[in-house]
Amino acid sequence: MSQDKEPLFSAKNMRLLKEPLDDSNPITVQVLGICSALAITVKLEPSLVMALSVIFVMAVSNVVVSLLRAKIPPRIRIIVQLTVIASLVILVDEFLAAFAYEVSQQLSVFVGLIITNCIIMGRLEAFALGNKPWPAFLDGVGNAAGYGVILVIVGFVRELFGSGTIWGYQVIPETFYSVGYENNGLFILPPMALITVGIIIWVQRYRNRKLIEERQI
Amino acid sequence: MKQFSNTYIFIFSLLMVVTVATILSVVAMQLQPMQKKNIETNKKQNILLSLNIESNKDNALDQYDKYITDSYVINSEGERLEGVDAFSVDLSKEIVKPFEERRLPIYVGTVGDSTQYIIPIRGKGLWGPIWGYIALKSDYNTIYGTNFSHDSETPGLGAEIATRQFQKQFIGKKIFNEEDEFVSVDVVKGGAPSGAPHAVDGVSGGTITSKGVDSMLEDVIGAYVPYLKEMRNKKS
């Protein structure tokens, strides 16, 4: 490989992919995209499908905006970004309705909600507008995956305690219920998602000390 | 970042809008026949589910032809309307009309040697329309099975009305009380008393959707009451 060309998976590029999973996680560190994380994590399955859809939309829109970055007039860049995201989301919606009708029914409003996901626009604005397509692609996949990981964890916890099921299958045995165990209805409601995310942030900061801010007196 | 002239911005936006519009409309038109077929298959699957028959998208059409033996449309006085296909009646347009003007589709399902009468229903959830099918036994009173679907209810909350668990509660409930008055089936927040003949448990956290199901049943079946009563009288 020539000296002036950077390898596809250089350390720098890999960092784009890995950092959002922990050090700069969009949800737990940047606290973005909280709204959708609260709304759709009642069950594991929609959380995972949402994560996958966001990975697709974010990766493609990052690449598209990065390819157009020299052509987009700065004054209307937000409108352009929004158009790119919205068109991709509509495409996903149309294809799901044609080829995976059952999945599209389950997702219902979520697919549309991707348009309003602030992480996507945040990455387009902060990264794709100033970088080449390949790093932009990695950055998109990394950030969407960082978002998705949290979604899946929260979805798992909420479905387990809220409904006693995982992926729709009963996992808490009947005997528990007969001795007085009850599903915790609070987990079904959005406030518990916020508390769960709070606990994840706590655990993450305990393990990753460099995220802790200096004490300000 | 370099500055762009106003002319450039106009041309750029124009090109962008035209490109996006072209791509989206071509895709939408290409995919439309498949989406329509999916919707039709899904409707047939839902009708079958109200008879408690599970089907997948490959055998739904055969199963539908096998179990749904007849369908017709009546008006609120119970007279049959000729030349109207029950399957193509758009409920969203019918439910906004007053009772007297509604066209009321009925499907007849035959399972073994028992006959069920399936009434399509439609109403409002929290975020969008909810709809479904309710199959009555041949006494025109006892519920044989139900199926509910929704467009955009919250998963885990209102969307639970689309689960079999919620729908199975309706089996065996009655829509007429002992004085032969139409009482519908109530969806009760916090749980219905056990064994209540006209009530089922609501979805916790899905109160508005549960209320939607409740009023949808009352409103849509309400239009069928004269016909149902007439048929009940004929039987007894």
Using one digit for the tens of pLDDT, what is the confidence trace for A83-131? 999 999 999 888 888 888 877 776 667 788 888 888 999 999 999 999 9
Percent of chain A with pLDDT over 70: 95
Tell me the one-letter amino acid at A188. Answer: I
- Whether B198 and B177 have beta carbons less than 8 Å apart is answered as yes
Q: Is B130 helix (H, G, I), strand (E, B) or coil?
A: strand
Q: Give SS3 for A105.
A: helix
* Cβ pair A76, B9 in contact under 8 A: yes
Mean pLDDT, chain A, rounded, equals: 87
Question: Cβ-count burial of A184 within 10 angstroms (0-12 exposed, 13-18 middle, 19+ buried)?
Answer: middle
Q: Name B159's Cβ contacts closer than 8 Å, sequence gap at least 6.
A: A108, B150, B153, B206, B209
Cβ–Cβ below 8 Å for B38 and A40: no
* Record: contact B149-A105, CB cut-off 8 A: yes
SS3 assignment, position B86:
helix
DSSP state of B142: B
Q: What is the pLDDT of residue B78?
A: 80
Q: Judge contact between A25 and A144, C-beta under 8 A.
A: no
Contacts of A79 in chain B (CB under 8 A): 13
CA distance B166 to B48: 17
Which H or E run contains B109? strand B104-111
Window 75-114 of B, Cβ < 8 Å to A: none
Helices and strands, counts by H and E, chain B: 5, 8
Q: How far apart are the first and last CA of chain A?
A: 52
- Which residues 134-153 on chain B approach chain A with CB closer than 8 angstroms? 149-153
Q: Which residues of chain B have pLDDT under 70?
A: 1-2, 236
Question: How big is chain B, counted in residues?
Answer: 236
User: Per the confidence metrics, is the pTM higher than 0.90?
Assistant: no
* Statement: residue A1 has pLDDT above 50: no
Lowest pLDDT segment from A4-13, A204-213, B63-72, B185-194? A4-13
Cβ distance B130 to B122 under 8 Å? yes
Q: Phi and psi (nearest 5°) for A155?
A: -60, -40
Q: Give me the sheet containing B143-150, strands edge to edge.
A: B80-81, B68-74, B104-111, B114-124, B129-136, B143-150
Is A95 in the B-facing interface, judged by CB distances under 8 Å? yes
* A4 pLDDT higher than 80: no
- Give me the pLDDT at residue A108, please: 62
- φ/ψ of B122, rounded to 5, equals -155, 140
Q: What is the pLDDT of residue B21?
A: 96
* Residues forming beta bridges with residue B149, ordered by sequence position: B131
Per the listing, tokens 């041949």 go with B138
What is the spatial distance between Cα A125 and Cα A108, in angstroms, rounded to a whole number? 28
Does B160 reach chain A within 8 Å, measured CB to CB? Answer: no
Instruction: Name the β-bridge partners of B108.
Output: B70, B117
Q: Is A2 a residue whose pLDDT tops 60?
A: no
pLDDT for B233 equals 86
C-alpha–C-alpha distance, residues A42 and A163, integer Å: 9
Q: Are strands B129-136 and B114-124 parallel, antiparallel or unpaired?
A: antiparallel
Quick one: closest CA in A to B39, which residue? A101
Distance from CA of B235 to the nearest CA of A (A): 41
**A88: burial class by Cβ within 10 Å (0-12, 13-18, 19+)?**
buried
Per DSSP, chain A holds a count of helices (H) and strands (E) of: 10, 2
